[in-house]
Amino acid sequence: MKPLQIKNPSEFGKVAVLLGGTAAEREVSLNSGNAVYQALKAGGVDAVAIDVTASPIDALAGQRFDRVFNVIHGRGGEDGVLQAVLEALGLPYTGSGVLASALAMDKLRTKLCWQGAGLPTPRWFLLTGDQDLDTCINALGFPVIVKPAQEGSSIGMSKAHNREELAAALKLASQYRCDVYAEQWIQGQEYTIGMLNGEALPAIRLETPHTFYDFDAKYRANTTQYHCPCGLDNEREKELQALALKACQTVGVSGWGRVDAFIDDSGRLQLIEVNTVPGMTDHSLVPMAAKAVGIDFQELVWRILETSMVASGDQA
């Protein structure tokens, strides 16, 4: 990792830690944001935690800040909306800019970008209603995983083995007011690769007894296993890390983020999605990967905040 650029916390000025938000991931964001806030305070940074329950403009009104550490997950915080507000206010912020945030929040558009760049991602089919079910089955077969395109933390996702389950999965995902798609089920090993200031962190291999790495497996279950080192040989892990960096570069992700991927049973790498505001509790995946290279949680938060120092204008 590159050496720290900022030595004195006063160089950051007054920092607003934005957390909460109004999306389905609000609970996760509150936990992440509080952890980030505590770490910044422990490092001597003049930080203020702000729970955004409605308009971020209203949340910031009447206060003067020098920069923002954004820890709002999901729509309204991770999709370019908040980034555009901060651009208009002239406030530097952590994470990707408007364009990259909007693209990465939309899993479908991300996959289209990756496809256009020649990067591997599982086949998918857009579901606009029950009239698409049979065409989807003919195109992908079973099993598939059905996803709302603009939700995170596996919210609204379910696996389908037959037409009846596919219809039920579509109905569930359609509750989230965004595009819904079915994706080819990948049999293999699941990995996640953190990115910090243009460098890949060690890959983590995920293992869960659940059908897939769902919300409960991520945040509630004690049966999920995280393997770091991930078990790949050095060259294979470097290949996976290089693909993750390319995936970020293709959609313009900057500052920090996390890429989810599979290596299927035939050995092919498959990109699933990229997160521009990953979870940031002290047991989340990016902190876990950072710890493997000697970066503790407080230093990680400091390094992420440093990325806001180099950005002016649209960070994407």
Out of 219, 254, 255, 308, the active site residue is 219
Q: Would you say 227 and 204 are in contact if contact means Cβ atoms under 8 Å apart?
A: yes
Q: How far apart are CA 121 and CA 115, in angstroms?
A: 7
The residue whose two tokens read 């080192």 is: 229
Out of 78, 106, 151, 273, the active site residue is 273
Tokens standing for residue 144: 């598939």
C-alpha pair distances (Å), 142 with each of 128, 161, 170 = 19, 5, 14
Out of 70, 153, 158, 284, the active site residue is 153
Tell me, yes or no, if 273 is annotated catalytic.
Answer: yes
Tell me, yes or no, if 296 is annotated catalytic.
Answer: no
Out of 255, 279, 284, 303, the active site residue is 279
Out of 32, 275, 284, 308, the active site residue is 275
3-state helix/strand/coil string of the chain: CCCCCCCCHHHHCEEEEEEECCCCCHHHHHHHHHHHHHHHHHCCCEEEEEEECCCHHHHHCCCCCCEEEECCCCCCCCCCHHHHHHHHHCCCECCCCHHHHHHHHCHHHHHHHHHHCCCCCCCEEEECCHHHHHHHHHHHCCCEEEEECCCCCCCCCEEECCHHHHHHHHHHHHHHCCCEEEEECCCEEEEEEEEECCEEEEEEEEECCCCCCCHHHHHCCCCCEEECCCCCCHHHHHHHHHHHHHHHHHHCCCCEEEEEEEEECCCCEEEEEEECCCCCCCCCHHHHHHHHCCCCHHHHHHHHHHHHHCCCCCCC
Tell me, yes or no, if 299 is annotated catalytic.
Answer: no
Out of 151, 183, 260, 306, the active site residue is 260
Out of 26, 75, 258, 303, the active site residue is 258
Q: How far apart are CA 105 and CA 141, in angstroms?
A: 27
Tokens standing for residue 313: 């204008």
Tell me, yes or no, if 219 is annotated catalytic.
Answer: yes
Q: Give residue 83's identity as a one-letter amino acid code.
A: Q
| Residues acting as catalytic residues | 25, 153, 219, 258, 260, 273, 275, 279
